[in-house]
Every structure is written in structure tokens, then in C-alpha cells.
Amino acid sequence: MADITKRFGWRHLRAAPTTHVRHHRSGQLAHDGAGLSFWFRPLSAAISEVPVDDRELAMTFHARTADFQDIAVQATVTYRIGDPAVAAEHLDFSVDPDSGVWRGAPLEQLATLLTETAQQHALEVLARTTLASALADGVPAVRDAVATGLSEEPRLPATGLSVVAVRVMALRPEPEVERALRTPARERIQQEADKATYERRAVAVERERTIAENELASQIELARREEQLVEQRGANTRREAEEQAAADAVRVQAEADRKVRLARAEAEAAREAGEARAQAQAAWLRVHGETDVATLHALTGTRLAENLPRIESVTVSPDVLTGLLARLGTDGGQSA
């Protein structure tokens, strides 16, 4: 919408850069261009404002497939008015000189023209296609048919229009049909999910079984090694006992040998001591045998005196002295 201000019976128009303004004064073209700014008198001016920017037109329409199923088409057409002069001649783009608002609805007319043309070509394609094919591969076919049909439509250049792009977002069946079509896919997906779940469970069970087998094998190996360890310990104990017994036998034998040697030495020493005593006794006897009786008596008295206790005083009675002298005299006579 153009920006129009009032000044003392005059009007000033200022257009946006994306709008093309055509100003006729008394039937003559006074201004023609995009983004203009000028003064004019409202009573003698006829102004048309044509947008020249790219515009998006969203459309939704229904079609019927070859198997008599309803389908909804969602598409968007990007267009622009390439020839504003032609568009202003065929459509009413005139604006009110006081408010700058379009007197008619030219963009709605363009939208109707584009929608009906696109719908016509889309219906032709979908009428030859089954619902399943349309849902699977129908979007590119419909887009190409609509783009080709719009580019070949003679009414569009005649109104100054040019189509920039065509996009088809979706082809959707009726809700009941869509739910019916989704059911097999959902069941297949659910089956695949269940299969994946079962496979995961089977893999998990297999892994658990493998782990259990490994643990059992480890326990068996551990028990076998423990058995070997017990046998080795028993063998070591037996070997230690045997070695200890052998050592004890050697020690006992050594002790017995030592005692035997000691007994033999003691016996030999006793024998030698006995022989020495016997020799000494024999020598003593031999010496005493060769000595006279008086000398022996003197030695006996001396030995006896050595073994008697100490006598401080001796009292000899006449009777004892007389008997002793008599005995000595008797012994002396016998010895002579």
C-alpha cells in the first residue's frame, strides 16, 4: 500500500521499492516506475500500484486417484509480476488517491488464476495414478506437471505473471484411508521391532550362557589347579617328612655311633686304668714281697699314723704297755 499524505489540496505519494506505480494525469502517463515519490492532484489522477516482489501462494486442493481415492495436495507457488504495465492493463491495481488502498482485489484474482491452473494439471496426473503410487512417487510427478503446466499457460504471460518456483509439500489421503495404510506399515515396524527385541534377547541369553560357561570352565580349571596344588602340597609334605626322617635317622645313627665310640673309649680307658691299677698293685705287692717284715710293720705303722686323727696326749697304762711289749717281743722272735 502506497504512503499518501495530504497538503493543501495536493497529495504526495511515496511508494516502496518493491511496488511499481503508474500515474495517469488526465489520461496521460505522468509517472511510471518502482519506488516513486511525487505530488499529484487527486481529481485528475489515476494511480495504479503493482507489486513486483516475489510472492508465495500456498494452495491446498483435493483430487481423485485412478482407484477412486480422495487425496489432498499441499503445494506452494512462487510468482512475481514481471510486466507491471500488462498486469495493470488486465487487472485492477488502481488505488484510492486519498488512502492508497486498492479499490479491488487484484492479488486474489491472481491467486485464483494460479490455483485453478495448478489444480488442473495436478488433477490430470493424479487421475492416472493409483493411491499407492501417488503416495510413493507422486510428489515429483505432480510438481513437474504443475511447473510445466504453469510455464505453458498462455494466460499468465498475458497478465504479466511469471512463475518462479513450484513446490509440492505433501500428498495426503483421507484420515481413515491413511490410518488403514499405516496399519500394515506399523505392524511391519512392530514386527521388526519385536524381532530386533527377540534377537537382542537371544544375543543377551547367548552372551549370558557364554559367560556362565566361561565361569564354569574357570571354576573347573580353578578346582583342577587346587587339586594339583593339594597333591603338590602332599608331595611336598611327604618329601619333607621323608627328608626329616632321613635326617633324624642320620642324626640317631650319628648319636648311636658317638655313644658306641664313647662307650668303647670308656671301656678302653677302664681297661687301661684297670691294667694300670693291676700293674701298680702287682708292683706294690712285688715291692712288699721283697721287703722285710719289720720294714712293713714300720710302713704300716706310718700309714696308720697318717690316717689316725690328731692325738693331743696318750695315756698308756702299765698293763697295755706290758702286753704291747710282750707282743712285739713275740713277733721279733718269730721273725728271727
Q: Say which amino acid occupies 243.
A: E
Query: Taking Cα atoms as reference points, which of 76, 49, 48 lies closest to residue 61?
Result: 76
82 and 161 Cβ atoms separated by less than 8 Å: yes
For helices 293-307 and 318-335, angle between their N-to-C axes, nearest 10 degrees? 140
Q: What is the pTM (predicted TM-score) of this model?
A: 0.53
Of 165-169, 230-234, 278-282, the poorest mean pLDDT is in: 278-282
Measured CA to CA in angstroms, residue 166 lies from 55, 74, 127 at distances of 12, 11, 20
Each residue's pLDDT tens digit, 173-216: 888 887 887 788 788 888 888 888 888 899 899 899 899 999 99
For residue 9, pLDDT over 50 is answered with yes
Each residue's pLDDT tens digit, 12-27: 889 888 899 999 898 8
Q: What is the pLDDT, as a whole number, of residue 336? A: 45
DSSP string, 188-257: HHHHHHHHHHHHHHHHHHHHHHHHHHHHHHHHHHHHHHHHHHHHHHHHHHHHHHHHHHHHHHHHHHHHHH
Each residue's pLDDT tens digit, 204-222: 998 998 999 999 999 999 9
Over the chain, what is the mean pLDDT?
Answer: 85
Each residue's pLDDT tens digit, 222-251: 998 988 998 898 888 888 888 888 888 888
Edge-to-edge strand list for the sheet holding 28-34: 28-34, 19-25, 45-51
The band of 141, judged by pLDDT with boundaries at 50, 70 and 90, is very high
The band of 297, judged by pLDDT with boundaries at 50, 70 and 90, is low
36 and 21 Cβ atoms separated by less than 8 Å: yes
Mean pLDDT of 92-109: 88
Cα separation, 73 vs 169, whole angstroms: 8
Burial class (CB in 10 A: 0-12, 13-18, 19+), 42: middle
Q: What is the pLDDT, as a whole number, of residue 322? A: 76
DSSP string, 267-316: HHHHHHHHHHHHHHHHHHHHHHHHS-HHHHHHHHHHHHHHHSPP-S----
57 and 29 Cβ atoms separated by less than 8 Å: no
Residues in the chain: 336
Mean pLDDT of 118-137: 90
Cα separation, 293 vs 290, whole angstroms: 9
5 and 11 Cβ atoms separated by less than 8 Å: yes
Each residue's pLDDT tens digit, 54-79: 999 999 989 999 988 899 999 999 99
The band of 134, judged by pLDDT with boundaries at 50, 70 and 90, is confident
Of 1-10, 35-44, 231-240, 310-319, the poorest mean pLDDT is in: 310-319
Q: How far is CA 18 from the centre of its chain?
A: 60
The band of 291, judged by pLDDT with boundaries at 50, 70 and 90, is low
Cα separation, 122 vs 150, whole angstroms: 11
Q: What is the pLDDT, as a whole number, of residue 308? A: 61
Q: What is the pLDDT, as a whole number, of residue 267? A: 82
β strands within 43-144, DSSP E: 45-51, 55-64, 70-81
Q: Say which amino acid occupies 107.
A: L
Query: Taking Cα atoms as reference points, which of 163, 186, 179, 43 lies closest to residue 110?
Result: 163
Residue with cell 477412486: 68
Cα separation, 188 vs 201, whole angstroms: 19
Vertex 229: Cα angle to 223 and 232 (nearest 5): 145
73 and 139 Cβ atoms separated by less than 8 Å: no
Cell of 122: 495436478
Q: What is the pLDDT, as a whole number, of residue 123? A: 92
